[in-house]
Amino acid sequence: MALCLRYMGNREDAEDVLQEGFITLFTKLDSYQGAGSFEGWARRIFVNTALMHLRRTDALGLSDDITEARSLFTEEATPLQKMGYRELMQLVAALPPDARTVFNMYVIEGYSHREIAQELGCTEATSRSKLQRARIRLQEMIKER
Amino acid sequence: MKEQEFDIYVRNLLQNAEESVSPKVWEGVEAGLRRKKLIPLWRRVALSAAAAAAVVVAFVLLRPAAPSEENHSQPTSSIFMTGDTPRVAQVLPEASVPVAEPAKEPAKKPAKTPVTVPSPKPSVPVSVPEAPAVEPALPEEQAPQAAPEEPVTSTPVPRASLEDQALLAQLSNHPQKPAKGGFSLTASGDLQSKSRQEIGSSGMPRQYGLPQAVDERKEGIYNASPETHFSLPVSVGVGLTYHFTPRWALGTGVRYSFMGRTFIGDYVSGDGYSITNTDIDNNQHWLGIPVNIYFNFVNQGRWIVHAFAGGAAEFLLKNDYLVHNATKDIHFMEPAMRPQWSVQAGVGVEFRITPAVSLFLDPKLDYYFNTQEQPRSLRTIQPLRFDVEAGLRFNLGQKQR
């Protein structure tokens, strides 16, 4: 559920994705042949289901955007280290859907930019750009708190 | 904080987090699974029916047709106990009907152990002519009258032999095989041989393709991988056979065939939208008109062995693709194509359950022409196929020979 919430940004859509993800998982259970971890396989199903939802609602809108984003990262400690799960989830949910999706796929699920580009039908440069924007936006929101 | 540290911190906080889920999600999952199970259930029923038919065929064909040797060696008078006296009388000449007492006494103990327990008078003399003639049944009262005056001295006859003769007598009132000018109706099912190529073993859910940018390919379905899983082809049909001589017959009918496969492919819609590398189910529904000529070359007792050859024209009624999408499955129908022509030949066996009903098993080879013009199926990758047809034949309106 937490995974779905991270991608969808709101509880209602996250529950829809969770439900469809479980249906897909149970009906395709026989296609899991033991190669790789079951958790990874299941996680991928939920990520794909979430991506399909976002795509269907045109939430991704991944046009080529390779504007170099200015980095806000410094050596200073940030308030992030004082934040808990709930607060961080709220901030992630507040990200634009396209940036949030790339951020989730890269940072949490561990996809490479090439894989993200393949999955989302965009260029690797766009994926990098969206990731950087997501990071910066998160930093800004964390500082504003 | 550097980028990598930021990422690691966020990942640690979010990756294994848990959220409570409302009960309605689980209800939705259950409801969704019930809907998904509809098609597989139908397939399971079809396969179960085919398996049951195979078991019935095997049982009937392998069942011993006559009593064992041991039974033959135990002369009994149980044939008279079965209440079939009129039928026995058809077999036995009037003069050879045994004395009344031995016949009537065992009749009071009807067939409890008719085979293994010898009759009280095991040497009940019965004479049987070498070629049993069929004669009208005698009234039961006539037999005891004749017996006391003519002592019978012939050797005992095993019960099994008498039963065989009774059966022959029964069958002699019906045609041993379809007579000239007769029709027979068949109801049958086919199972074809199947080659199997499994879907890739990556274990990853490759079947959930993702929408891609505009695809310039023509609308349709495209194979993304040669790996395909074919389901067992199944056919059912009814036919009518005309027996224009005792040995030769011509048969035709209608036959519905179902062929299914699952493969990894791409779907391109009419507006260029595509889903690539996804799992696709393809169900093909065919209606065929076979025409065969039959030649009966063995006809012995209950068994008939025949050879047959012919051809068929099959028409694709429906070619349905189910494109599995992570959120919503997409149905795509491919337009009908040209008829599929084929030839077939085989040797079959028929077992007469009753004079009017036979069970048949027809193994055969089919060859399909011009398969490259048809949608991909087991036939297109292997045009020469082994096929076993089994069913019931009902003899209708035959003339007595």
Report the CATH number at residue B331: 2.40.160.20
pLDDT at B256 over 90: yes
Instruction: Please state, in angstroms and rounded to a whole number, the distance separating the CA atoms of residues A128 and A131.
Output: 5
Under an 8 A CB cutoff, do B204 and A5 touch?
A: no
Which one, of B188, B148, B162, B137, lies nearest residue B80 by Cα?
B162
Are B95 and B231 in the same domain?
Answer: no
Q: Which of residues 276-305 of B touch A (CB under 8 A)?
A: 279
What pLDDT, on a 0 to 100 scale, did the predictor assign at position B307?
A: 94
Q: Which of A33, A60, A123 to mutate to test the interface with B (most CBs of B within 10 A)?
A: A33
Residue B220 shares a structural domain with residue B292: yes
Q: Of A60-69, B234-243, B287-296, B303-312, which gets the smallest average pLDDT? A: A60-69
Kindly list the residues from chain A whose CB atom is less than 8 angstroms away from the CB atom of residue B30: none
- The angle, 0 to 180 degrees and rounded to 10, between the axes of the packed helices B3-14 and A124-144 is 80
In a domain, B264, yes or no: yes
Q: How many helical (H) and strand (E) elements, i.e. helices and strands, does chain B have?
A: 9, 11
Would you tell me which residues 360-399 of chain B have a C-beta closer than 8 angstroms to some C-beta of chain A? none
Lowest mean pLDDT across A117-121, B173-177, B225-229, B255-259: B173-177
Same domain, B243 and B382: yes
Instruction: Quote the percentage of chain B above a pLDDT of 70.
Output: 54
In this prediction, residue B105 carries a pLDDT of: 42
Residue B123 has pLDDT above 60, yes or no: no
* Percent of chain B residues past pLDDT 90, beyond the cut: 15
pLDDT-wise least confident of B92-106, B200-214, B236-250, B251-265: B92-106
- Mean pLDDT lowest among A19-23, A130-134, B125-129, B353-357: B125-129
How far is the C-alpha of A105 from the C-alpha of A98, rounded, in Å? 11
Tell me, yes or no, if A93 comes closer than 8 A to chain B by beta carbon. no
Q: What's the gap in Å between the CA of B335 and the closest CA on chain A?
A: 28
Q: Which of B172, B199, B223 is the last residue of a domain?
A: B172
Which of A16, A23, A75, A87 to substitute to test the interface with B, most B CBs within 10 Å?
A23
Domain boundary among B112, B141, B172: B172
The verdict on a CB contact (< 8 Å) between B19 and A5 is yes
Q: Which residues contact B179 (CB under 8 A, 6 or more apart)?
A: B243, B246, B398, B399, B400, B401
> Is the same domain home to B347 and B224?
yes
Is residue B46 in a domain?
Answer: no
Most confident of A2-6, B211-215, B256-260: B256-260
**Which comes out higher in pLDDT, residue B212 or B71?**
B212
Mean pLDDT of chain B: 68
Residue A133 has pLDDT above 60, yes or no: yes
Size of interface A-B (CB pairs under 8 A): 135
Q: Computed over its alpha carbons, how large is the radius of gyration of chain B?
A: 33
Report the candidate in A144, A119, A74, A70 with the shortest Cα–Cα distance to residue B208: A119
CA torsion B112-B116-B122-B125 (nearest 10°) is: 90
Asked if B203 has any chain A CB less than 8 Å from its own CB, the reply is yes
A48 touches chain B (CB under 8 A): yes
Domain with CATH 1.10.1740.10 in chain A: 1-59
Coil/strand/helix, residue B296: strand
**Cβ neighbours for A41, distance < 8 A, ≥ 6 positions apart:** A32, B203, B204, B205
Q: Is residue B329 within 8 angstroms of chain A, CB to CB?
A: no
Residues B221 and B361 in one domain: yes
Do B228 and B277 belong to one domain? Answer: yes
Checking if the pLDDT of B178 tops 80, the result is: no
Does B159 share its domain with B181? no
Closest CA to B176 of B308, B296, B348: B296
> Rounded to the nearest 5°, which phi and psi values hold at B187?
-130, 125
Q: Which residue has the tokens 């012939």?
A: B154
| B234 and B324 part of one domain | yes
pLDDT recorded at residue B378: 85
Distance CA B309, CA A111 (A): 60
Residue B209 C-alpha, separation from nearest chain A C-alpha, in angstroms: 9
Of A2, A77, A83, which has the smallest distance from its Cβ to B1's Cβ? Answer: A77
For residue B122, the enclosing domain spans 69-172
Specify whether B84 is located in the same domain as B117: yes
**Number of neighbours of residue B69 by Cβ within 10 angstroms:** 9
Determine the pLDDT at residue B177.
47
Q: Which residues of A21-51 are buried (b: 16+ CB within 10 A; e: fewer)?
A: bbbbbebbeebbeeeeeeeebbbbbbbbbbb
In a domain, B188, yes or no: yes
Residues in Cβ contact with A59 at an 8 Å cutoff, skipping those fewer than 6 apart: A97, A98
Q: Do B21 and A15 touch (CB under 8 A)?
A: yes
CA B283-B285-B287 angle, to 5 degrees, is: 165
- The token pair at B382 is 């292997």
**Which chain B residue is nearest to residue A84, measuring alpha carbons?**
B13
Closest B-chain CA to A54: B327
Contact B204 A36 (CB under 8 A): yes
pLDDT in tens, B3-34: 777 888 888 888 777 777 778 888 888 888 77
Domain stops at, among B172, B194, B216: B172
Q: Does residue B118 carry a pLDDT above 90? A: no
Q: What is the DSSP track for A15-78?
A: HHHHHHHHHHHHHTGGG--SSS-HHHHHHHHHHHHHHHHHHHTT--------PPPPP---SS--
| Of the candidates A102, A19, A93, the residue with the CA atom closest to the CA atom of residue A60 | A102
Facing A80 at nearest CB: one of B6, B18, B213 = B6
- Cα distances from B32 to residues A89, B29, B36, B331, in angstroms, run 29, 5, 6, 18
Beta-strand pair B330-334/B340-352: unpaired
Higher pLDDT, B217 or B42: B217
In a domain, B219, yes or no: yes
For the cut 70, the answer to whether the pLDDT of residue B124 exceeds it is no
Confidence at residue B314, expressed as pLDDT on a 0 to 100 scale: 94
Q: What is the mean pLDDT of residues B104-112?
A: 42
B334-355: pLDDT as tens digits = 877 788 999 999 999 999 888 8
Q: Is A43 on the interface with B (CB under 8 A)?
A: no
| Pair B150, B125: CB distance under 8 Å | no
**Residue B308 belongs to a domain:** yes
Distance set, CA A115 to CA A66, A102, A124, B194 (Å): 17, 11, 8, 37
Same domain for B239 and B165, yes or no, is no
The pLDDT assigned to B367 comes to: 93
Question: What pLDDT is stored for residue B132 in this prediction?
Answer: 42
Is B250 exposed, middle or buried (CB count within 10 Å of its CB: 0-12, 13-18, 19+)? middle
**Band (B57; pLDDT cuts 50, 70, 90):** low
CA-CA-CA-CA dihedral for B154, B159, B160, B163, to nearest 10:
100
Contact B189, B50 (CB under 8 A): yes
CATH hierarchy code of domain A1-59 = 1.10.1740.10
With an 8 Å Cβ cutoff, is B32 touching chain A?
yes
* Chain B CB within 8 Å of residue A6 CB: yes
Mean pLDDT lowest for which of A50-54, B217-221, B354-358?
Answer: B217-221
User: In 3D, which of B241, B1, B237, B199 has the Cα closest to residue A135?
Assistant: B1
Separation in Å, CA of B42 to nearest CA in chain A: 15
> Is residue B192 located within the same domain as residue B166?
no
CATH label, A63-145, candidates 3.90.1150.10, 1.10.10.10, 1.10.3720.10, 3.40.50.11540:
1.10.10.10
Q: Does B214 touch chain A (CB under 8 A)?
A: no
Average pLDDT value over all residues in chain A: 80
**DSSP 8-state symbol, A119:** H
Cβ of B3 within 8 Å of Cβ of A18? The answer is: no
Task: Collect all residues of chain B within an 8 Å Cβ-Cβ radius of residue A86.
Answer: none
The pLDDT of A108-117, averaged and rounded, is: 87
Q: How far apart are CA B71 and CA B65, in angstroms?
A: 13
Amino acid identity of residue B364, one-letter, is K
In chain A, which residues have their Cβ closer than 8 Å to the Cβ of B328? 56
**Under an 8 A CB cutoff, do A44 and B204 touch?**
yes
Handedness of CA A58, A64, A66, A67 (dihedral sign): negative
